[in-house]
Amino acid sequence: MKDVIIIGAGPGGLSAAAWCSELGLETLVLEANRETGGQLLWTHNPVHNHLGATTANGTELRDIFLQQLEPFRFELRLNAKVKAADLANKKIILETGEILTARAIILATGIRRKKLNIGEDKFVGRGLLESGKRDRDTVRGKNVAIIGGGDAACENALILAETATNVTLIHRRQEFRARRDFLEQIAGNPKIKVLTETVVTKIIGKEQIEAIKLCQIIENKSYQIPVSAILLRIGVEPNTEFLGEALRKDKNGYIEINSCGETNLENIYAIGDAANPLSPTVSTAVGMGATAAKVLYSKLNL
């Protein structure tokens, strides 16, 4: 049995691992992905707001974290996805069926982007874009659709309009939740067409995306527009559904904690974006990792 198991090796989990190691706790970090970093791997813009380093992108910051972690002693298992948990009894079940236990568990599972669930996974690398910044050059001369109504959707519409022939921004509501400056720039950009109260019901294409089917909700009118690329920015949701009923979560699935990172279950902590912090940032996740490690150390009475 380990002293601590940390689920997730994003900024929060890595910070908690450093602190647990520093405090002499025998620590195991489980990461579903084949590499560490969490959302840093999706960050293609420069990161300059986490003190200590300015980097060209998130992966570069992750590499700095890993370099700094080299002297710390903890076990890291990649490709180790947790499938289920009985947190009241501190049991974790991996996808392989292996059962692990620890004296304390830190949940650092972060968030994921929401999907439309209309078969978009089939088009990964075939027109389903990952990021405006990363894919700006691949949409040169193409028709692109962006789905969503927040900052991320609007910012990406502006980025992709730099190279695409035209951009259709599709939002299911009437009002956008995005920053006013983004909305003003969109209104003044002749390449961007905005469709509100409209949902995407189907992605059409054999090898590549060729078109999307839309439904105007108010008029209940369906029609099709030709696009060869789409980008989804319809919000995020926490990676917490597999953590069991005993763990208290809010209505959106975020883990409820106190200011020490303690959940409603003894010696079970949650940190970073999965616990819905007021500011979901690298610095917050890193700080919450340190707090949880120090509190659990004192509670374990070592």
Summarize as ranges the residues that interact with ligand FAD (CB under 6 A).
Answer: 7-13, 30-33, 38-40, 42-43, 47, 49-50, 81-82, 108-111, 239, 242, 272-273, 280-283, 285
Compute the least distance from the CB of residue 128 to ligand FAD, in Å. Answer: 16
Contacts of 205 (CB under 8 A, 6+ apart): 123, 126, 127, 211
Decide whether 29 or 192 has the Cβ nearer to ligand FAD: 29
Contacts of 7 (CB under 8 A, 6+ apart): 13, 30, 82, 92, 105, 106, 107, 108, 109
Compute the least distance from the CB of residue 7 to ligand FAD, in Å. Answer: 5
Compute the least distance from the CB of residue 202 to ligand FAD, in Å. Answer: 27
Contacts of 108 (CB under 8 A, 6+ apart): 6, 7, 8, 9, 10, 12, 13, 16, 270, 271, 272, 274, 285, 289
Compute the least distance from the CB of residue 67 to ligand FAD, in Å. Answer: 18
Decide whether 12 or 149 has the Cβ nearer to ligand FAD: 12
- DSSP-derived letter for residue 176 is -
Angle at alpha carbon of residue 97, lines to 93 and 99, rounded to 5° = 45
Angstrom distance (rounded) from CA 263 to CA 261: 6
Compute the least distance from the CB of residue 83 to ligand FAD, in Å. Answer: 7
Decide whether 18 or 32 has the Cβ nearer to ligand FAD: 32
Decide whether 44 or 193 has the Cβ nearer to ligand FAD: 44
**Across the strands, what pairs with 226?**
211
Angstrom distance (rounded) from CA 25 to CA 23: 6
Compute the least distance from the CB of residue 117 to ligand FAD, in Å. Answer: 18
Decide whether 33 or 138 has the Cβ nearer to ligand FAD: 33
Both tokens assigned to 242:
């597999």
Rg for the chain, CA atoms, rounded: 21
Decide whether 22 or 210 has the Cβ nearer to ligand FAD: 22
